[in-house]
Every structure is written in structure tokens, then in C-alpha cells.
Amino acid sequence: MKIAPARIHVAAAAIFDEQGRVLISRRPLHVHQGGLWEFPGGKLEPGESVANALRRELYEELGIIVQAARPLIRVVHDYADKAVLLDVWRVDAFTGTAAGNEGQVIEWAAVGALGEYRFPAANTPIIKAVSLPDRYLVTPEPGSDHSSFLRALEGALGRGVSLVQLRAKRLSAADFRTLVPAVQQLCRQADARLLLNAEAALVSELGADGVHLTSARLRGLSARPLGDEYLVGASCHTRQEVQHAGALGLDFIVVSPVQQTATHPDACLLGFDGLQQLTEQASLPVYALGGMQLADLATAFRHGAQGIAAINGLWGDPVV
């Protein structure tokens, strides 16, 4: 009987500079996955924490000293000849000038250009994670006063929101088609991306950036509903849904309910421990939803999440 290889625990870093570029390095030709690009890092030593391994590896490989870092995503991947756990942290501040101290080629790449480089398969979720923000706004129902709704959205975008889900279940089809262009215009002006909580076919028709799938729509799919030029997210509540989203090659998921909300006071809550159990089953970035506020970001990071998704926590004054 073939014995599965022991899983190698690796600390890796998505290092950002002041221009928002991310540092990548090319693996030597003679090593596993040689010639491909990767995010810098290396194996943990026995008894070493991920944070300490990250600091050590980045100093040895690049000559930089980490000043500010936080968890980004954990990726479990099995190659034919090797099994890895990539513990990836986001580094936003460091001292020193990055250089290939071990003879490796390094490059500062624009996040939007990472698709032009060849990476090992295990790096695909990392590329998705570095391309996504830590906050995902789910809009409240627009109601009949679209002007008030658009003013509130403009305020949220002005506070740094850059990923928006337009959720308008109560609007007629005609009103929805009227509202989307106005929402899209505000998002474009703020360099934000807009996802529609609607049928995927409406995305290209109305010029949005992607679709957000309900858990029911997710369960009914056997393939990714849109091409890679669009973002595809989904709502998940169970391990089976999380794994199905990963198998479809979606870009991210939203897991809920983590904490109690006023609209669903009797819901069975995951809590942050339950959130972590699902993030450990995921092969793509995860947003925590349900009672989330900006103050919960650090806790969400520690439990494996990309960040938080929220309505009131990111919208400001509720729309009446």
C-alpha cells in the first residue's frame, strides 16, 4: 500500500510595497516546481511558530525585517509527490530593501498582473486572496427611495469599501435593471467591484463585475457559471457547500451566521470557532458574515478568514 507523504508546513508571505505591488520570486530550476513563480517563504523548523518562521525566512531570503503582518489564508494542497500546508501571511510593512539573497530572481508585480505569471497549483488560492479586500459590503434592500440608497452607498465607498454585493430581492426586474447602472457608476468612480445577487446571465447584460450565488444556486451548479474575467462568490453554511464551491473554482465564499443579527435572532450560530472549522475545509478565501463589525476584523483574520462581510457594519445608517 502506498504511504501518503508527510505534509510539509510552510510559512509564506504576500509582501506589499507602498505602490500596492506584491513581491514574488522564481523557484530554481533544480527544485520541486522549479522555474515557477511563488510567494516567498520556507519550511517551519521543529517547534517554531508561523510568525517566527516567516520573520526568519524573509530575513534570510530577502534581507527584510517584518514590521506588520497578519494571517491571510491557509492552503492545503496535495501534489503527486508532495503534500503541503501553506500558512500565508500578508506583510504590509518592513524595513530593508528586498533582494534575492539566495540567488533567486525576485520581482514586484502588480496584483492585477499576477495571472501573467506561472505559479504552482497550490498558489492559486493565494492569488485570489491577495486580489480581494478584507471587507465585503452587502447592501440592504434599496427600497423605493433610490436616491437615498445611492447616497448611502457613496458614503460607504468613500470609507474604503471596494467590493460590493447588490442584494435587492424585493425590487421588480425593471427597477433592478434601472438601479444597477447607477450603482455600477458609483463603484467605478471609487475603483470598487460590483457583484449582483441575481442570475449569472444578468452580470454580462448589465455590465457588473461578477455574481454572488445564494447557497441554493450554488448547490444547483455543476460548473462555474461565469468566466475567469468575472468574480464569482457564494454563500455557504455547511462543509459540503464550502467544498462544492472550491470544486467549482469560485473566487471566494461567505460563511454565516458567525454572530447573532437583529434580522435572524434565532439562527444557529457558528461562532468564530465554527468559522475556523469551515475555513480549514476551504480551498478559497472566506469572508465571515453575521453580526460583523470592523472591530471583528482581527478576530476573523485569526480564525482563517479573508475578512468580514456585512450590511449595517459597513453601510452606516440603515436605509429606511
- pLDDT at res. 5: 58
187 within domain boundaries: yes
117 lies in the same domain as 150: no
Total domains present in the chain = 2
Domain extent for 139 = 135-315
What's at 218, amino acid-wise? Answer: L
pTM of the model as a whole: 0.92
- pLDDT at res. 159: 96
197 lies in the same domain as 291: yes
- pLDDT at res. 1: 36
169 lies in the same domain as 303: yes
- Is 228 exposed, middle or buried (CB count within 10 Å of its CB: 0-12, 13-18, 19+)? exposed
- pLDDT at res. 320: 34
C-beta contacts of 169-178 below 8 A and 24+ residues apart? 169/141, 169/197, 170/141, 171/141, 171/142, 177/206, 178/146
- pLDDT at res. 34: 72
276 lies in the same domain as 154: yes
Which segments of the chain have a pLDDT < 50? 1-3, 317-320
Cβ partners under 8 Å of residue 14, min gap 6: 22, 39, 72, 88, 89, 90, 91, 126, 129, 130
Q: Cβ atoms within 10 A of the Cβ of 207, count? A: 13
Domain final residue pick, 130, 158, 174: 130
Domain final residue pick, 107, 130, 153: 130
Handedness of CA 13, 18, 21, 27 (dihedral sign): negative
114 lies in the same domain as 176: no
109 lies in the same domain as 225: no
320 within domain boundaries: no
Torsion of CA 244, 246, 250, 253, to 10 degrees: 80
108 lies in the same domain as 187: no
60 lies in the same domain as 157: no
Three cell numbers, residue 34: 522549479
- pLDDT at res. 33: 67
